Structure 1
């Protein structure tokens, strides 16, 4: 524990005053100024092992790794308790929960009053993005959870080096968090303290502040993640002319050694990490990881869009991750990892559904109960996670911490769609690409609250993460295209790995075979004449998508079928959906929808279901 005083720790008067205010409000037993050292990390781990928050895994099987189990009521984002506290309700928009900022601050003050009694208040200075990068931002999180401190140490660059960077006058985003469970004298603590009766995750766009109360899990508690990196950063990005996006970033190199970078947006648990760490099946092609979840993008002096990964680690969904689906992720989490809500094997290792074809005969499930293949319910929670440093990734890109970022050639949108959307499609223009993003929808997964499998709209995969009115967000994307050289803008694509045939089975093998789609996108960005114009967008010309070695003769037509009836139904549904954003829905996107409808109605059914080498308008 760092023995220091406020003034010895920092000369930043604004920071000192804020920490003192939080201390006086929350009334902790003591204050811990985090320095980010290995010694500090080990002290925190020892503390959590003693309290039962962590269980040490088998050192031989999983070196320096630990298992945490949350309470069953604290396992995912709580979107219905997440608020945008803008001055005007209409500035939060129809997709956010709004609260009056003055009223919410009064409410939060009452909740935080004495909330850290009997606990330690940890002060975590952190950088979102490489230290000193013009694309990076600094935050300071206060929390009473050592699990949060240990996780933030992995997910961000944190410690005294950030205080040095901040200096006496630097600005920061204040992030206040508490599990909301004060320990009165004589009370016994629990391994996973939280307050399920009072949960608030609040964002104040005007003052760039974050406050979270009651939850100790994931993005509810690691405030650098969705709260800062997306909800608050998206407001900053709109004000300053850049983009803060729910996107992976990857570098892909062809056999000749030419490299391009791509950013891709998918709703949570739809394969972002798998794509970011892909092992290509195509000989000579290589994929390297810059980030698996969030991209901050600004334009460089050369007019191109550059991206950084503001995070320093991966907070990945465990179920479905395997040697088949993501061998590089399995290597990444081989050591130095915190697992949360996965199952524990009899040998002291971890397991989750999809990790192996056959489950072990006995496990301790995510709730600490005996489990066998005959037990009801999964062994690991569907939203169980691994938290590990990006530096552990065997395919981390050599430029992943480049201060200037990496140049983006392509932006890809995608979701889980059983029908309608083809395997890959290129936008007709930047505006049409923004329409791709605005119209994105996906079948729900365990990472969101709701009915699994139900289709929900998730524009730009940012539905729960935009810190202001989504209609204004669409316009911001359009403005980006209008303000910059269109010849230097990234090309925009739509993909769908999850299209199914009539029998209900997936038509595309996915995983490493997705490199074939990335190859086609790579070649499109190189200007290759490999696209065929259809009513919905550009599809691959015949034989331009490399399917060598795959037996897809029967599936090929269905993968690229543009069914007129399905698409016209999609158009009608989107007309209704887009009214949600009135009066702030951009007229140019309305025009994109009407143009799509016109193209569909004037195309012949026969041509509309082929990917032949011809224009089907």
Structure 2
């Protein structure tokens, strides 16, 4: 079990503030009258001690207590411009932020969990012993904010009053980070202490970009202290490394769900969206995919948008699985976002009326953002993630530099979206009836399939395999991506997997409200199904059909073909959904290509997962039972029909 408050609290050790009296004395010395009056509205000892010790450790010239008022937000926007962290674009409310060209994604090689002796850490993560982390933080964060303004924000990850929300302090010298937090999270200054008392905990995040120089990046670090639920980030700017409310605190939420949730709580790397079904019903879907694998596109395919990246889930007293979005905005990848596949998002990005922070796109001579795959005429010159750019420009290795970085982003509030749902702010969350798992799988699984039962569904999540994306610096190739949450699982994978089996198999979920679990894959290529092209076997917008089929399957409106891996849709049902949902013909030949089982590929995937999990400790036996059952069934099919089994053969 994970032990809370085990070992020294690093910020408290370095800051040296041990009592409320010492904290108040420091505030009186370091804060001006306005901000001293603001902090005096707070009384919770642990909150005050965290803020005081962060000030003592980082030694800023000024401290700004952000209440979330419009005046405070304007100050933060102006500070970002003054510091050069953002620049104004011609479209009102739009700014551009560029990270260092060497830091265009999560620095996974420099991200560590702070571990106590003998503490179990995920085999897929890095760890550093507490004493070593203390030395590193003291050396590199001591005085790091000298001459700078520290912005202290009090946020809540989720709606105020929700059962699974998490309060969090975001303390940073980066106005860009604070500006992003104001768009992506709920400033809860007036409710913060009340929510801390109600929920019994809060997270703390301390960040500074330092001097923001390329030569400092080898010394950049992201440290996560699970025992004290505090993160430290320094010498970096990319939001995935610095906006610690996001993936840093998501990791703490995973810990909380696994070790304190009692099988009734999960913290997942999932979108949340509502699908309109027959008779005016709305069916809520949550779905996991690794970063850069289409979560935003899938979320926007729904009719009622709640979130595109993270989900807190719990089983309520009525036997429903409920979900909330810890965020209230999008930090979305823009590569291949275009009017055909993402019309609602493009409307907000290309028309006035919304606040948008762009990052690492190209800005042309007219101040217009451009990115790869936007479906528009591309400029021949401008400024992008690596500096001045012109068409044909090559890097030191002779490779042509793209117009925008593959991990270029837009930050925008959810309320700006045409399909925004007011359920985003509902403390009771949404009743979630469909759970999907997906990744960049070019050659193995069909576009959509539903698990036979909860155990088979958990195994779909455990067995995600995906091509690496640009969201992680230095990542390449194809790798396992369990639940699309692997980079954010702090503890042993066996503990996390047990929590999944316990949650979805829980007797606390009412039988008539039990979600179906399913796989999604819209990255199949022509090449993998007998063609010569590496283009997708289908289009992004087809996901509306896959979600529509799952919505109807949940309510018993469509039948399915039973296979060893789960239930596949029938052709006539999909043909009708293609016509009604996206006004597109769906030929039988394409259906056969997409939904035939390529048995050898799936068997290789099962063998990969069996071997990989066999090397882990304390993996629940259900995983191996399900994989064995699927393997035996697939071998039987191959014996009868050969290595490629068509839907028509499966129906026999």
- Fold in common (TM above 0.5): yes
Distance change >3 Å, CA 180–CA 602, structure 1 → 2: same
Q: Which moved more, 1:152-161 or 1:456-465?
A: 152-161
SS at match of 2:312: strand
Query: Aligned pair 1:610/2:646, yes or no?
Result: yes
In structure 2, the residue matched to 1:521 is: 550
Whole-Å separation in 1 of the counterparts to 2:585 and 2:325: 34
Q: 1:556 aligns with which of 591, 603, 610?
A: 591
Q: Secondary structure at the match of 2:592?
A: helix
1:308 counterpart residue number: 324
CA displacement at 1:551 relative to structure 2: 4.4
Q: Using the alignment, how far apart are the partners of 2:52 and 2:586 within structure 1?
A: 66
User: Which residue in the other structure is 2:470 paired with?
Assistant: 446
The answer (yes or no) to whether the contact 2:156–2:188 under 8 Å persists in 1 is no
Tell me, which stretches of 5 or more residues in structure 1 are unaligned? 182-189, 279-285
Q: Note the residue ranges of structure 2 that are not aligned, 5 or more in a row.
A: 1-31, 395-399
1:595 to 2:629 alignment = yes
Number of the residue aligned with 1:173: 203
- Residue 318 of structure 2 contacts residue 510 of structure 2 at CA under 8 Å; is this kept in 1? no
SS at match of 2:151: strand
Q: Is the 8 A contact 1:299 1:305 kept in 2?
A: yes
How far does residue 88 in structure 1 lie from its aligned partner after superposition? 5.0
Q: Aligned equivalents of 1:123 and 1:294: distance in 2?
A: 23
CA gap of 1:409–1:578, structure 2 versus 1, over 3 A, is same
Is the 2:558–2:573 contact (alpha carbons within 8 Å) kept by the matching residues of 1?
no
Conserved 8 A contact 2:392-2:401:
no
2:257 corresponds to 1:237: yes
Secondary structure at the residue paired with 1:483?
coil
Match among 394, 413, 421 for residue 389 of structure 1: 413
- Which residue of structure 1 aligns with residue 21 of structure 2? none
Shift of 1:374: 6.2
Q: Rate the CA distance shift 1:384–1:261 in 2: closer, same or farther, 3 A.
A: same
Q: Whole-Å Cα distance in 2 between the matches of residues 323 and 213 of structure 1?
A: 38
How big is each residue's C-alpha offset from its partner over 1:372-417, in whole Å with a ceiling of 9 and x where there is no partner?
Answer: 3666301211111111111111111131111100000010011111
Q: Which residue of 2 aligns with 1:585?
A: 619
**CA offset at residue 7 of structure 1?**
4.7
Structure with more of its chain in helix, by fraction: 2
CA distance in 1, matches of 2:559, 2:195: 49
Q: Distance in 2 between matches of 1:606 and 1:529?
A: 26
1:438-467: CA deviations, max 9, x gaps?
Answer: 110111111123455x21110000121112
Within 5 Å, which residues of 2 pair with 1:83-98?
83-88=112-117, 91-98=120-127
Q: For the structure 1 residues 408 and 368, does the alpha-carbon distance in structure 2 shift closer, same or farther, using more than 3 Å as the test? A: same
Match of 2:58 in 1: 26
CA distance in 2, matches of 1:490, 1:208: 31
The verdict on how the C-alpha distance between 1:264 and 1:166 changes in structure 2, with shifts beyond 3 A counting, is: closer
Alignment of 1:341-356 (within 5 A): 341-356=360-375
Q: For residues 396 and 554 of structure 1, do their structure 2 counterparts lie closer, same or farther at Cα, with a shift above 3 Å needed?
A: same
Matched, 1:120 2:143: no
Alignment deviations for residues 36-71 of structure 1 (CA, whole Å, 9 cap, x no partner): 12222222222332332221111xxx2211011121
- 1:151 deviation in Å? 0.8
Superposed displacement of residue 363, structure 1: 2.3
1:368 to 384, 387, 409: 387
**TM-score when normalising by structure 1:** 0.91
Deviation at 1:159, TM superposition (A): 5.1
In structure 1, C-alpha distance between the alignment counterparts of 2:348 and 2:247, rounded to whole Å: 22
CA distance in 2 between partners of 1:532 and 1:370 (Å): 52
* Residues 1:291 and 2:314 aligned together: no
2:333 corresponds to: 317
2:434 aligned with 1:398, yes or no? no
1:242–1:298 CA contact under 8 A, matched in 2: yes
Cα deviations across residues 104-132 of structure 1 (Å, max 9, x unaligned)?
A: 23321232211111111111111101122
Matched, 1:568 2:603: yes
1:20-99 equivalent positions in 2, closer than 5 A:
20-58=52-90, 62-88=91-117, 91-99=120-128
Q: Is the 8 A contact 2:167 2:192 kept in 1?
A: no
TM-score norm. by structure 2 comes to 0.87
Indicate if the aligned counterparts of 2:222 and 2:241 stay in contact, CA closer than 8 A: yes
Tell me, in whole angstroms, the C-alpha distance in 2 between the residues paired with 1:2 and 1:250.
Answer: 45
Counterparts of residues 455-604 of structure 1 (less than 5 Å) = 455-484=478-507, 485=509, 487=511, 488-501=513-526, 502-506=531-535, 508-546=537-575, 547-548=578-579, 549-581=584-616, 583-603=617-637, 604=639
Alignment partner, residue 135 of structure 1: 164
Match of 2:13 in 1: none
Cα shift at 1:512: 2.5
* 2-structure distance, mates of 1:551, 1:137: 45
Residues 257 and 203 of structure 1: CA distance in aligned 2, closer, same or farther (over 3 Å): same
